[in-house]
Structure 1
Amino acid sequence: MKVLAKSGGLSVDLASAFDASPNPYVLITPDLHIAGVNQAYLDVTNSDRDAIIGQPLFAAFDSGPGEEAPENVRQVRASLEKARDTRQRDHLALVKYSISHRDADGREVFEDRYWSATHTPMLDDQGEVVFLLQHTTDITELQHLRERGSPRQSASALDSMLGGAVLGRAAQVQEDNRRLETERRRLVEMFMQAPGFVAVLDGPDHVFQMHNPAYAQLIGHRDLTGKPIRDALPELAGQGYYEFLDTVFVTGEPHEGRGSLVQLQRTPGAPLENVFLNFIYQPIRDADGQVAGIFVQGHDVTETVVSAERQKLMIDELNHRVKNTLATVQSIAMQTARSHADPGTFAAGFQARLMALSHTHDLLTRSHWEGADLRAILEHETEAHGPHRISLNGPPVALEPAAALSFGMIFHELATNAAKYGALSAPDGRILVDWGVADQSSPVLHLTWREIGGPPATPPTRRGFGSRLIERNIRHDLAGEVKLEYAETGLCAELSVPLGAERAS
């Protein structure tokens, strides 16, 4: 198909013009296959059009079997890929690339040739690369002239000086560029593989030029490149980070944050998440020393900060519990001493109450002090009297740590009293414990401790430690009510205690 262009009334066949050009051209697809060539290219490469059209470029032309061939191919491929990927024209000032031809005996031989090449990307309306146009100039004779370095050959002395100098400078510049490009790729690779998050922001609007995968993961893999930070990360408004960047750009002074809280939206439409960061904003200066951008580098330390806060809370809670436990032990000692003048009985009573406290601590430790179940506390405090003599009937009830400790002491006193004076002091005596929870919106625990089969219960002539402990724990510590009934059939204790957040401290 012919493409025509009109100029001043003259129609020009562009395909014919392309083929008639004395300069060698080859049209290459983005995956580096030959799409078209002109006659000058066929002549200079000793090629047949039908044999190379559609072929991979480096299968049709492989630079021969020499040791330098792979490097020659690499240079040309790298230039083509750079033009394709950057959408910018790329030049090879000097490249050695051998071309095959047939000798007098019909054998394939390779002739070393030197070329200067220009690779130009051809874009469609959407800016995508559809072809690469390679324009080559055979400068083999000029290179040979430079290598010989003698003006007495086929060229003049002036040609020798100019040609040699120009090619020498071109080769040096190309080598410098190749070295710089290698270093740049190495730096970019290190940049992209950095374990912490890294980004480069350009200009006073802090436009994202590049960022590594760790930064992408931090902000939820959003499309950032080419966007100002205020558009790319709008949720940062009001958190101070825009202002930090503005200050660094204006003053040229770096800004560092340690354990800084930032709220980020990791996924579209999701609520903001609290993230803690160690970071630094470093100014990037241009050749004149002016701030041109900002280098962002840091680490997500959320787990470290949260762990430290959790550890502090645990230490504070431990200190609080130790103080409370010591106060409880002190109270138990004082009250037990009042009820037992004899050191021997004091020691036995004091030790038994400490063991009750220890049992409840064991239960709470197993749950990491998140709480304990009511039934488990009852079983712990009554198991020494035989499970066949204790009937427990009620639903699971989770108790907070403070409530669990109070109930542990209460049930210990009730069981001890039953063993000394009540149902458990008789062979056929039993204890029935029933409980339930009423009003789920503001739950209240109702528990009944009933002794049967033992001696009649008689009101004490004086209030002992057990009675005082039960009443103090129920009314003061648990903000509940207790009713003790001393009946002919045995003691009956009715407890009513609010649970959860509704329970007063």
Structure 2
Amino acid sequence: MNDPKTSERPVAAETAAVAAAFEGSPNPYVLLTPDLRIIAVNRAYEDVTGGRREDIVGRSLFAAFDSGPGSDAPENVRQVRASLEKARDTRQRDHLAVVRFSVERTMADGAQGFVDRVWSATHTPLLNATGEVEFLLQHTTDVTDLSPTIRPEEPTTALDAIVGGSVLHRARSVQEDNRRLETERNRLVEMFMQAPGFVAILSGRDHRFQMHNDAYSQLIGHRDIAGKTIREALPELEGQGFYDLLDGVFATGEPYEGRESVAHLQRTPNEPTETVYLNFIYQPIRDAAGVVVGIFVQGHDITENVLAAQRQKLMIDELNHRVKNTLATVQSIAVQTARSNTDPAGFAETFQSRIMSLSHTHNLLTQSHWEGADLRAILEHETEAYGQTRVSLVGPPVSLAPATVLSLGMIFHEMATNAAKYGALHTPEGRVLIDWALADQRAPKLRLTWREIGGPKVTAPDRRGFGSRLIERNIRHDLAGEIDLVYAPEGLIAELTVPLDRTAAR
């Protein structure tokens, strides 16, 4: 077996060699942590900057060196910091062509003072085994001698001045261009990321994601799709036609625009897909030769707008249906009331009473946006004119569908009217007891008993009037229920059974 101590010796020797090379290099080097603190400098760096390692190691790079009086400290610090952060964040080497920094020097008279110098720097990220930035290496070169405007003494020859000035001018020009381009690029990227619509850039025939903004990420459930093909990133789109559309745009170079297109996206991991509606465009991206190399995707999630439009159409259709039904009901009430009342005054009174009952029921439904109403609220509406002490209501809350509300509203109106004309509510001592309950939970049914007591003696009618026919028609035809009317001498008893297949009990 290998001796661990023996196997460690080559590593230690290699580390020592690297350290010696770092220290002995004629090139100035400084080693920084990712938060830009100095952890090592070599001798050449000390010589060229005038700093001592015992004074600067462990400090921030920008705190370790005073930029000196009269210098443009904010700008030069910003340039160096931006270059270092770019190298750290992109994990790519970055070059800073020229930057001014003052260094402390011993003057001819022996006094200490600051001297303006021009520097060029290269910043290299050093990665660990996992690919993360562990250190930043700065290689700094004093290029003041190339600049006759900074150099304190005159150049040796006119040629030196021309060459030095030309090189420095070009370096500064390139650096300013790069800085301007970087600023413009950052501004465009920021606009891209903050765009209200979803945006993505796909490259190649396999439509690989190069960039996408926050809105696109939100649309697909914040998945990690960078560098993946469309088929790898969004496999649930298989069979929905989007792959074929992208292939067609790439092959033909013709853009495609989708309007209210339906897409089924898995926006939550391990959950079913969700249906979304999209307006979008696939725009081909071409290279300098005009060849399609990618596709620009831009669009908007219009799901809420589409659903709102669908709800509005449904409401309009429902409203039209209700208006037609209401007009048919009014027509029927008018015809049947006219048959039962030969006297115009009696017709007007009865007809108006029934129309007002229908109106009250509509008001109840309007308050709930036509989603339904509670049984107790309907009964209270139709009996409140006779006083709370004369009508007893006992039963659980029951939420009824709009169609059931309309039918029961008319039924209870007729029963209350009959009680006031001929039954218990015709005399001061009479009362109406209304009890209800729910039966059969698998197929729920409403069972309601209307019992009149304390009124005049009751006898079965010789003929059925419109009210009786209306009650039976609404119960059996409109509600598919049953009603049993018992004309007991002490008072009418009506037992109703109505299925609630379209009504939810609370």
State the alpha-carbon separation in 2 of the partners of residues 131 and 446 from structure 1. 81
Partner of 1:263: 264
- 2:156 is matched with which residue? 154
Indicate whether 1:322 and 2:314 are aligned. no
Taking the aligned partners of 1:2 and 1:131, their CA distance within structure 2 comes to: 23
Match of 2:44 in 1: 40
Please give the alpha-carbon distance, in whole angstroms, between the structure 2 residues aligned to 1:3 and 1:60. 33
Q: Contact conserved, 1:45 with 1:99, CA < 8 A, in 2?
A: yes
CA contact (8 A) 2:399 2:503 kept: no
Whether 1:117 aligns to 2:121 is yes
1:89 aligns with 2:90: no
Gaps in structure 2 of 5+ consecutive residues: 1-8
Secondary structure of the structure 2 residue equivalent to 1:131 = strand
Change in CA separation of 1:64 and 1:286 when aligned onto 2, cut-off 3 Å: farther
SS at the partner of 2:147?
helix
Counterpart of 1:389 in structure 2 is 390
Query: 2:148: which partner in 1?
Result: 144
1:106 Cα shift? 5.8
The answer on whether the counterparts of 2:145 and 2:164 sit within 8 Å (CA) in structure 1 is no
For residue 432 of structure 1, what is the aligned residue in structure 2? 433
Partner residue in 2 for 1:244: 245
Letter in 1 for 2:263: V
Q: What's the offset of the Cα at 1:328?
A: 0.5
What CA distance in whole angstroms lies between the structure 1 residues aligned with 2:70 and 2:213? 40
What does residue range 35-184 of structure 1 map to in structure 2 within 5 Å? 35-103=39-107, 107-144=111-148, 153-155=155-157, 157=159, 161-184=162-185
Shift of 1:161: 4.9
Does 2:494 align with 1:493? Answer: yes
Q: Note if contact 1:265-1:272 (Cα within 8 Å) is conserved in structure 2.
A: yes
* Structure 2: distance between partners of 1:392 and 1:142: 102
Q: TM-score, normalised by structure 2?
A: 0.91
8 Å Cα contact 2:266-2:274 kept in structure 1: yes
Per the alignment, do residues 142 and 67 of structure 1 end up closer, same or farther by CA in structure 2, a change over 3 Å counting?
Answer: closer
Q: Distance in 2 between matches of 1:351 and 1:12?
A: 107
Change (3 A) 1:116 1:392: closer
* Superposed CA offset, 1:47-78 (max 9, x none): 21211222211112243233423212222222
Q: Which amino acid aligns with 1:280?
A: I
When residues 73 and 453 of structure 1 are mapped into structure 2, their CA distance, relative to the original with a 3 A threshold, is closer
- Residue segments in structure 1 that go unaligned for 5+ positions in a row: none
Which SS does the other structure have where 2:443 is aligned?
A: coil
Q: Is the 8 A contact 1:262 1:275 kept in 2?
A: yes
What is the rounded CA distance, in whole Å, between the counterparts of 1:238 and 1:28 in structure 2?
Answer: 52
**Aligned in 2, Cα 1:391/1:302: closer, same or farther, shift over 3 Å?**
same
* Residues 1:24 and 2:31 aligned together: no
* Distance in 2 (alpha carbons) for counterparts of 1:407 and 1:329: 16
Asked if 1:459 is matched to 2:460, the reply is yes
Give the C-alpha shift of residue 401 in structure 1: 0.9
AA matched with 2:389? H
Corresponding residue number in structure 1 for 2:218: 217
In 2, distance between residues paired with 1:234 and 1:386? 67
Q: Is the contact made by 2:393 and 2:435 (CA closer than 8 Å) also made in structure 1? A: yes
The residue type paired with residue 126 of structure 1 is: T
The alignment's TM-score, normalised by the length of structure 1, stands at 0.91
For residues 151 and 259 of structure 2, the distance between their equivalents in structure 1, rounded to whole angstroms, comes to 61
Question: For residues 320 and 197 of structure 2, what CA distance do their matches in structure 1 show?
Answer: 37
Give the percent of matched residue pairs that are identical in Structure 1 and Structure 2: 70
Q: 1:196-215 to 2 correspondence within 5 Å?
A: 196-215=197-216
Deviations 1:425-484 (A, max 9, x none): 233222222222221111222222222233333333332111111111111111112222
SS in 2 for 1:97: strand
Residue 228 of structure 2 corresponds to 227
Between the aligned partners of 1:501 and 1:401, the Cα distance in structure 2 is 9
Q: CA deviation at 1:379?
A: 1.8
Code of the aligned partner of 2:144: T
User: Structure 1 pair 212/245, CA: closer, same or farther in 2 (3 Å)?
Assistant: same
**Secondary structure, counterpart of 1:239 in structure 2:** coil
Matched residue SS, 2:365: helix
- What SS does the aligned partner of 1:13 have? helix
Cα deviations across residues 195-232 of structure 1 (Å, max 9, x unaligned)? 22222222222222222222222222222222222222
Counterpart amino acid of residue 137 in structure 1: T
- C-alpha separation between the residues in 2 aligned to 1:163 and 1:461? 125
Residue identity matched to 1:128? E
Report the RMSD for the aligned CA atoms in angstroms: 2.6
Moved more, 363-372 or 175-184: 363-372
CA separation of 1:112/1:147 partners in 2, compared to 1, >3 Å: closer, same or farther?
Answer: closer
Once the two structures are TM-superposed, the CA of residue 19 in structure 1 deviates from its matched residue by: 2.0
Q: Indicate the SS of the match to 2:240.
A: coil
> Partner amino acid for 1:154?
T
Distance 1:279 1:147, change over 3 A: farther
Contact 1:442 1:502 (C-alpha < 8 Å) held by counterparts = no
Name the SS for the 1:247 alignment partner. Answer: helix
Distance change in 2, residues 1:256/1:357 (3 Å): same
Report the CA distance between 1:395 and its aligned residue: 2.3
Aligned pair count reads: 495
